[in-house]
Every structure is written in structure tokens, then in C-alpha cells.
């Protein structure tokens, strides 16, 4: 039962980390919303790689991050030249990569949430177990009834013993 509790705790922790990762969408949102330098992109990609190594993000986000890092210089060039024709095609590519990345993160998060729910259901499926896995339905054993004692002996020595 302890193993199930440990698995449930790990799944819940993973789900909360994935939820935190979803609320911070990473490089894709940063790339779309600000001017990033190469060092900023490198840092963001390294952070995502660490999340993947720790199991808090899907492996494919690193591939999407690398694609985004290739699109940023191209976007900066388009912006500098004010090239509206190239800008439309670039924008479509950028949004396609960002959407694919976000879908990968959502699939990963859904899987983690399902694991956490399944682990929680295992624990909750037995109404006689509390959160610590102890049986709460079994009544404690009643205390034995005291034995009746009788006095015996005569004369000067008196004692007691079971009747």
C-alpha cells in the first residue's frame, strides 16, 4: 500500500509541475512577444531541456524550440526590411510551430493529470482505507473480560485464584 501512496504522490507532484509548465509556456510565447537575443534563446532552450530531462515536459518541445530559434533571426530580418510578403509566410510558420509545441505540452499535461487521477482513484477506491493506508473499517478487538477470582485457603493463608 505504501508503494501506491508513493506513486500517487509522485503523480500528483508531476501533474502540478506540468500545470506550472503550462502556465509558463516557455520560449514560444517569449519569442512572439519580445525581442530576444541569441543568449536569451539559448537560456530558454536550456531551461526546456532541463524540464525534459526531469520528466516535466515532453521531449518534442526541444525540437520545436530549435525550430523557433531558427525562425527568430529570419523574423528580425523581415522586420528590419519591412517585408510584408515574407512576413505573412513567416508568421504562418511561426504560429504553426507554436501551436504544435503547445499541443505537445497539452498532451503531456493531460497524460500527467490522468495518471494523478488514476493514482488518486486507487487510494479512494477502498472506503475502508484512510490516506495513510490504514484500515478504518475493522473494529478494534474487544478487551478480554476479567476472570472471576475466588478466595481459597483456610487457616492463616488466604489466596486468590481463578474459580
pLDDT digits (tens, 9 = 90+) for 12-48: 444 444 444 444 444 444 444 445 666 788 888 999 9
Rounded Cα distance, 7 and 5, in Å? 5
SS3 102: helix
In a domain, 43, yes or no: yes
Q: Distances from the Cα of 101 to the Cαs of 15, 56, 65, in angstroms?
A: 18, 14, 8
Cα dihedral angle (57, 59, 62, 63), rounded to 10 degrees?
Answer: -140
Q: Vertex 56, ends 55 and 60: CA angle to 5°?
A: 80
Q: Distances from the Cα of 146 to the Cαs of 142, 158, 161, in angstroms?
A: 12, 21, 12
Q: Which three cell numbers stand for residue 1?
A: 500500500
In a domain, 163, yes or no: no
**6 pLDDT above the threshold of 80:** no
In a domain, 146, yes or no: no
154 band by pLDDT with thresholds 50, 70 and 90: low
**72 pLDDT above the threshold of 80:** yes
50 band by pLDDT with thresholds 50, 70 and 90: very high
pTM of the model: 0.53
In a domain, 143, yes or no: no
**146 pLDDT above the threshold of 60:** yes
Write out pLDDT tens, residues 80-130: 999 899 999 999 999 999 999 999 999 999 998 888 877 766 655 667 777
Beta-bridge partner residues of 152: 159
In a domain, 152, yes or no: no
- Look up the domain containing 89 and give its range: 2-124
Rounded Cα distance, 155 and 149, in Å? 19
Domain count for the chain, please give it: 1
The answer to whether 11 and 119 are in contact (CB under 8 A) is yes
Rounded Cα distance, 137 and 127, in Å? 8
**What pLDDT does 157 receive?**
58
In a domain, 159, yes or no: no
**What pLDDT does 12 receive?**
43
**What pLDDT does 137 receive?**
81
Q: Which three cell numbers stand for residue 133?
A: 493506508
**DSSP 8-state assignment for residue 139:** P
Amino acid at each position: 500500500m505504501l508503494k501506491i501512496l508513493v506513486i500517487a504522490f509522485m503523480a500528483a507532484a508531476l501533474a502540478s509541475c506540468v500545470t506550472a509548465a503550462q502556465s509558463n509556456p516557455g520560449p514560444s510565447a517569449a519569442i512572439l512577444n519580445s525581442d530576444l537575443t541569441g543568449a536569451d534563446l539559448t537560456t530558454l532552450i536550456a531551461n526546456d531541456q532541463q524540464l525534459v530531462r526531469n520528466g516535466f515536459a515532453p521531449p518534442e518541445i526541444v525540437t520545436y524550440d530549435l525550430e523557433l530559434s531558427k525562425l527568430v533571426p529570419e523574423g528580425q530580418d523581415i522586420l528590419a526590411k519591412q517585408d510584408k510578403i515574407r512576413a505573412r509566410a513567416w508568421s504562418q510558420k511561426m504560429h504553426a510551430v507554436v501551436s504544435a509545441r503547445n499541443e505537445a505540452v497539452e498532451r503531456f499535461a493531460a497524460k500527467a493529470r490522468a495518471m494523478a487521477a488514476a493514482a488518486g482513484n486507487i487510494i479512494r477506491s477502498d472506503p475502508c482505507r484512510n490516506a495513510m493506508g490504514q484500515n478504518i473499517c475493522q473494529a478494534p478487538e474487544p478487551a478480554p473480560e476479567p476472570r472471576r477470582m475466588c478466595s481459597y485457603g483456610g487457616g492463616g493463608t488466604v489466596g486468590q485464584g481463578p474459580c
